[in-house]
Amino acid sequence: MRKRMIALFMMAFLVVGTLAGCTGGGSGDEGKKDDKANVENEAGDANEGDVGAGKLTVWCWDPTFNINAMNAAAEIYKKDHPQFELEVTEISSGDIIQKLATSTSAGNTADVLPDVILFDDSLVAQEVVSYPDVFMDLTDSGIDFSQFSEGKVACSVVDGKNYGVPFDSGAAIAAYRTDILEDAGFTIDDFTDVTWSEWIKKAKVVKEKTGKALINGQSSYNQVTVMLKSCGGSFFDEDGNLDIAGNEKIKRICELYLEMLEAGVYQEEVGWDTYIGNINNGNVAGAMNGCWIMSSIQAADNQSGLWAITNVPSVDGVDDATNYSSQGGSTWTITTECENPKLAIDFFNSTFAGSEELYDNILPSGAIATWIPAGGSEAYSQEVEFYGNQPVYSMIVEYTSKIPICMTNAYEASARQAVCTAISNVAFSGADLDEELVAAEETVSFEMER
């Protein structure tokens, strides 16, 4: 009974709080989804006729990053298709998951879902598996998936079929306020190529001398990802079986996170706004996320020149530890409720899957491309004043090349949340870590067997 209650709680938690939601068009015509589910090859010839005249509705979050990128793509597309319209609704990732669940349960996806939905990379496969009739199969759409990073494409492949258009890199960075580090007697080099134990020791000095935690985050959800992927770890083994309870990498990461929390060098936040606000107002000395966090850091333009980036700490005490990882990154999906799938395919082929100009334009916001041709742009080698004239984009490309390969699974988000719940139970209720990791594995196992 305890196992079932925990699982039900976790399933509900994932729906309402995973990572932000509105209405889009659609019709209830029977057979419409079958026509759209596998876009035919002729979609690749969508430039014929008036395909660019029409409207796309989009759900995504983060105005300075994802919404900015989508609007920039629309401006490029409008140059050749002046009658094109784009309607973007800002909605959290968690609200997207909730609306998707409620609309499919009620059978009214046609009245609720938009044409295009953005998902965190870790969620795409899970949503496709959970709602197999909601997302278009893009395998034969004419989009050249070979021009994207192989690991990135894999996030949206289910049963050998492509269900998403890759967007931004999730290569992890550690970004610090160099003025705050200086107040504590450190430079950015002191936090480069370090282990987590070394990082915690130095972070305690920063806390003691400045009163500031070195980094913050929304619970342990993202931080666990950064730490686990840096050592090629996973919640699953090579055969796709759960591997949580006896996983030494996971246990070591939990121990390090709990040590950071107890020392006050990692500050847990409630909600995205508080999380970003404390970075921007200097209440914490840095941030550690996928490189997409740069757009939010740079929102505080009065701090130009006071930031620098470096690689992330390695997990000492485990095999395969590196100073490179990934976290986040996202993928565009097209729903089967899309009124004009040929327009959607042509739009993506002309922008996110075909425009160096787009990636050059959104690069200053921190949107690092996983579309391979964009990496050859001169814009990637430029020095960036905000980060003390570091060539941050070329640095991130280098980091990306060193990220270990990790096993992924459609239930990865569920497994991650279960482990984070285990950490919270230890931190705030004094529970035993080993027992909590066993309970976490039981929770995810229950969900997988439903």
Q: Which domains does the chain have, with CATH numbers?
A: 2-169+329-376 (3.40.190.10), 171-327+380-431 (3.40.190.10)
pLDDT (tens digit, 9 = 90+) per residue, 168-210? Answer: 988 899 999 999 999 999 999 999 999 999 999 999 999 999 9
Report the C-alpha gap between 364 and 297 in whole angstroms: 12
- H/E element, 441: helix 433-448
Put the strands of the sheet holding 286-290 in their side by side order.
Answer: 286-290, 172-177, 307-310
- Across the range 340-358, mean pLDDT stands at 97
- For residue 116, which of 40, 198, 190, 57 has the smallest C-alpha distance? 57
| Total H helices, total E strands in the chain | 18, 12
Specify whether the backbone of 54 is left (phi greater than 0), alpha (psi in -120 to 50) or beta.
left
- H/E element, 128: helix 121-130
Report the C-alpha gap between 420 and 443 in whole angstroms: 12
- For residue 136, which of 30, 57, 39 has the smallest C-alpha distance? 39
CB atoms within 10 A of CB 434: 14
Put the strands of the sheet holding 84-90 in their side by side order.
Answer: 84-90, 54-60, 116-120, 330-334, 165-166
Q: State residue 149's pLDDT score.
A: 78
Report the C-alpha gap between 168 and 375 in whole angstroms: 12
Q: Is the pLDDT score of 323 beyond 60?
A: yes
- Across the range 387-403, mean pLDDT stands at 89
Report the C-alpha gap between 283 and 277 in whole angstroms: 8
Report the C-alpha gap between 7 and 290 in whole angstroms: 29
Q: State residue 50's pLDDT score.
A: 66
CB atoms within 10 A of CB 67: 17
What's the token pair of residue 255? 């121990």
Mean pLDDT value across the chain: 87
**The dihedral of CA 189, 192, 193, 195: what is its sign?**
positive
Q: State residue 37's pLDDT score.
A: 46
How far CA 242 is from CA of 1, 7, 26, 234, 409, in Å, comes to 21, 15, 38, 9, 10
- Across the range 374-399, mean pLDDT stands at 89
Q: Is the pLDDT score of 32 beyond 50?
A: no
Q: Is the pLDDT score of 428 beyond 70?
A: yes
Indicate the residue type of 231. Answer: C
Q: Which residue has the tokens 């757009």?
A: 295
Residue 158 backbone phi and psi in degrees, to 5: -130, 125
- Across the range 272-279, mean pLDDT stands at 94
Least confident of 208-212, 321-325, 398-402: 398-402
Range list of H helices, 148-263: 150-154, 178-183, 196-210, 221-230, 248-263
| First-to-final CA distance of the chain | 15
Percent of the chain with pLDDT over 90: 67
CB 134, CB 335: distance < 8 Å? yes
Q: What is the DSSP string of 244-289?
A: -TT-HHHHHHHHHHHHHHHHTSEEE-SSHHHHHHHHHTTSBSEEEE
- Across the range 356-361, mean pLDDT stands at 94
**The dihedral of CA 96, 100, 102, 108: what is its sign?**
positive
CB 404, CB 230: distance < 8 Å? yes
pLDDT (tens digit, 9 = 90+) per residue, 305-322? Answer: 999 999 999 999 998 999
Q: Is the pLDDT score of 217 beyond 70?
A: yes
Indicate the residue type of 271. Answer: G
Report the C-alpha gap between 256 and 420 in whole angstroms: 13
| Residues forming a β-bridge with 264 | none
Report the C-alpha gap between 167 and 125 in whole angstroms: 15
CB 7, CB 443: distance < 8 Å? yes
Q: State residue 30's pLDDT score.
A: 42
Report the C-alpha gap between 450 and 446 in whole angstroms: 6
- Across the range 74-99, mean pLDDT stands at 96
